[in-house]
Structure 1
């Protein structure tokens, strides 16, 4: 019996998740687990690169790292709690700046308190949603959040972000459709999704913090 079998499994477990096989091991999806480090690298890289260590930069770097850790937890365990945290982190990333645009008049401590409560609310919502409603919610929030993005100056970093994100979503769909699927290979399209979206988050952070309003 796997260590994770003592917890409530994700609704997609054991054979309706991504292409990569969910193994009976401490790390159930090794390829997706390790590729999730891309989000941690993105957070650390943008923090180190931007000279002005503003509170917003620190929060964005923290959000990137939170996404990496929750993704590793999700793919490492495939239990219901971890997948809810994973999707809550995705929604937090997608909506972070759109929400922050309404909160800048408040103190840093109040902003942090709001996002903490918001994250808990997202977790509870994702805990009670199925896989496809979660994905649908993420796409809807992405579309709404783009309304705030298009109001700001654009540069090559934003174009790189959106281009990489579009390609990454393509490989995400390929993986979800199990096209060219080899469940036991270390090469997985979902892992490419992690690497691509991690890189997109890095360029997005560069765009945000080199065009700070």
Structure 2
């Protein structure tokens, strides 16, 4: 099975490295932001005046014990490696925003798919929220931050469902006017926000992982439907990449919980690899949206 996947991707190298030409300025910006984030974590953890910064906020020690990384409760950034790994979400968000900016500048009003651009920009802001939530949680490990972190998981995992649902609505209503499409977008994102907020605040404690896993399974179900109906469409290969990255991320998350190959002092933590592959999953889903030439061709 693994050999078949490797053989498939070796024939389609552009799937692993999509034709997104990121300028040198953007690469330099991403490198600078990554370096600055790493230095900020180091500086915060070496500032003696910030010791015990989170001491007055409640923490669930049972949850903390699930992570392999050594937790330094006295410091501002209690899990520096897991915190730093969240930079992947910021990197992908910046790439999406930069590419969307190029689309706005280079595309004519007739050719530009404005509805699709809205989805991509919305996804970029979701990734920014995931980055902030991840940073807040792994820095503080507080109960409130735990809620925020899972809120970000719900927003991230449910977005593909919303996007694919939008494609389904377009397919089944091909004669929708521009105004009707705008109404559909407003309605579908209103439902999305309400559902995510309800899950964020009303999922019982201890059930968060189950709910997030169900959301991911629903994404798989929708994605597989796309794949089965459009097996030869080049664009769906990016959707396959997104699914594979998500599966790999889930494996690393499971390994982190079971402390497999665990070294608390290592710079390579299973949970940080979860962040990396979830970030890559988001990147490939964006490329899937970006390379969508005609949404109405899907689910037909």
TM (normalized to structure 2)? 0.63
Could you tell me how far 1:184 is from its partner in structure 2? Answer: 2.2
Match of 1:129 in 2: 205
The CA deviation string for residues 185-207 of structure 1, in whole angstroms up to 9 with x for no partner, is: 22211111111111111011111
| Structure 2: gaps (5+ residues) | 1-50, 104-112, 170-180, 296-300
In the alignment, which of 68, 71, 79 is matched to residue 19 of structure 1? Answer: 68
The CA deviation string for residues 112-155 of structure 1, in whole angstroms up to 9 with x for no partner, is: 655444443222124x412xx21111111111233322333452
Aligned ranges 1:27-38 → 2 under 5 Å = 27-38=77-88
Q: Report 1 or 2 for greater relative contact order, CA contacts < 8 Å, sequence distance ≥ 6.
A: 1
2:279 equivalent to 1:205: no
Aligned ranges 1:61-210 → 2 under 5 Å = 61-100=124-163, 101=165, 106=183, 114-126=191-203, 128-130=204-206, 133-152=207-226, 153=230, 155-210=236-291
| Structure 1: gaps (5+ residues) | none
Could you tell me how far 1:82 is from its partner in structure 2? Answer: 0.7
RMSD between aligned residues: 2.4
Match of 1:6 in 2: 56
Q: Cα–Cα, structure 1 residues 201 and 145, in superposed 2: closer, same or farther, change >3 Å? A: same
Distance (whole Å) between structure 2 residues aligned to residue 61 and residue 123 of structure 1 = 20
1:55·1:108 contact (CA, 8 Å) conserved in 2?
A: no
1:18·1:178 contact (CA, 8 Å) conserved in 2?
A: yes
